[in-house]
Amino acid sequence: MRLDTILRVVSKLFIPFIFIFGLYVQLHGDFGPGGGFQAGVILAAGVILYAIIYGLNAAERAVPRALVEFLVPLGVLIFAGVGLWGIASGGNYLEYNKLIHGDAIHGQHWGVFLVEIGVLVTVASTMIAIFYAFAGRGRP
Amino acid sequence: MELLINMVLLTLLAAITIGIIRVRNLFAVVVLAGAYSFLMASVMMVLDAVDVAMTEAAVGAGISTVLALGALHLTKTEEAAPRYSAILPLFVAVGTGAMLIYGTWGLPGFGLADTPMNTGVGLDYLNRNMAETGIPNVVTAVLASYRGFDTLGEVAVIFTAGIGVLLLLKRFQREG
């Protein structure tokens, strides 16, 4: 009998809720505490918990290393892309007021939403990538 | 009540700090550092800085602990005995601490409304935010909209740090 049965069962129960909470923190960041940075760390913590309990190989099957390393620069590009979209729609770099046909409030909402997605992607993937790199070193 | 909570939290912080200094087992030090971060997050909650508290709990207690344990996995768990006397570092630490405590005497009282940080740009953001962005959480509005360029810089810093760590660690990785 494995000695870590309780840990495995409890973490399997908890991990979906950790991801849901991460998404809540991300998408509710306009109204309550939170935002891309915190949500990214929470999502990364969910993956890292999975890797600690079920092993690095299982985690890499669920969240492949190549995908993580692709997402690290993608978040920065999303953020910078929103800035360029601001220029393309006739404003300054990272100015959201003119994004949606001059509807300032609407544009602000979309700008902030997309920018936070960019933060989430880079933060979460960077944390997971660093963890993979650390955890993979001791492996025979 | 708030004073009592603060006193308990700060006493526990001091106790944990002394514990971190005294204990030579690095595994215990990592766990104590995680507990320190959770207490610090509680202090931030008492100060009504919920966003900072969330970040502190997630990064300080979560990710830092995992990364420190990952580093510990590659090295010994007992701290080596110090080879030099601790007099000079103790002097530097006590001197810096005394200067910081002296500095707190110049700070305005906690939560006062007529301080520069609450009357200048902070008040301006609070007044203009709803009409200009329509985002109820001013922290998010400042981070993502008013100071969007700063946040882009922060994301670039995280990106750069991640790439740097990956490049350093991958050189020694065994292909598995």
Cβ atoms A96, B151 nearer than 8 A: no
**CA pair distance A85, A64, nearest whole angstrom:** 31
Average pLDDT value for chain A? 89
Spatial separation of the C-alpha atoms in residues B61 and B68, rounded to whole Å: 11
Mutate to test the interface with A, among B47, B64, B65, B66 (most CBs of A within 10 A): B66
DSSP state of A102: T
What are the backbone angles phi and psi of residue B23, rounded to the nearest 5°? Answer: -70, 135
What tens digit of pLDDT does each residue of B147-162 get?
Answer: 889 999 999 999 999 9
Q: Assign A138 a pLDDT band (cuts: 50, 70, 90).
A: low
Integer Cα distance of A24 and A35 in angstroms? 9
In the prediction, which pLDDT does B67 show? 85
pLDDT at residue B171 is higher than 80 = no
pLDDT digits (tens, 9 = 90+) for B78-95: 888 878 888 999 999 999
B 72-111: CB under 8 A from A: 73-74
CA–CA gap between residue B141 and residue A29 (Å, rounded): 10
CB proximity B116 to A under 8 Å: no
Model pLDDT for residues A58-116, shown as the tens digit of each residue:
999 999 999 999 999 999 999 999 999 989 888 889 888 888 887 888 889 899 999 99
In this prediction, residue A140 carries a pLDDT of: 46
Q: List CB contacts (< 8 A) between A38 and chain B.
A: 51, 54-55, 58
Q: Which of B159, B168, B170, B174 is best to mutate for the A interface (most A CBs within 10 A)?
A: B159
**CA pair distance A26, B86, nearest whole angstrom:** 46
CB contact under 8 A, A31 and B144: no
Q: What is the CA radius of gyration of chain A?
A: 18
The model's pTM is 0.86
Contacts of A116 in chain B (CB under 8 A): 140, 144
φ, ψ for residue B174 (rounded to 5)?
A: -85, 135
Q: Is B133:B145 a contact under the CB 8 Å cutoff?
A: yes
In 3D space, the residue among A107, A114, A124 whose CA is nearest the CA of residue A81 turns out to be A114
Inspect the interface and report whether the beta carbons of B62 and A45 lie closer than 8 Å: yes
Domain range summary for chain B, segments of one domain joined by +: 1-78, 113-176
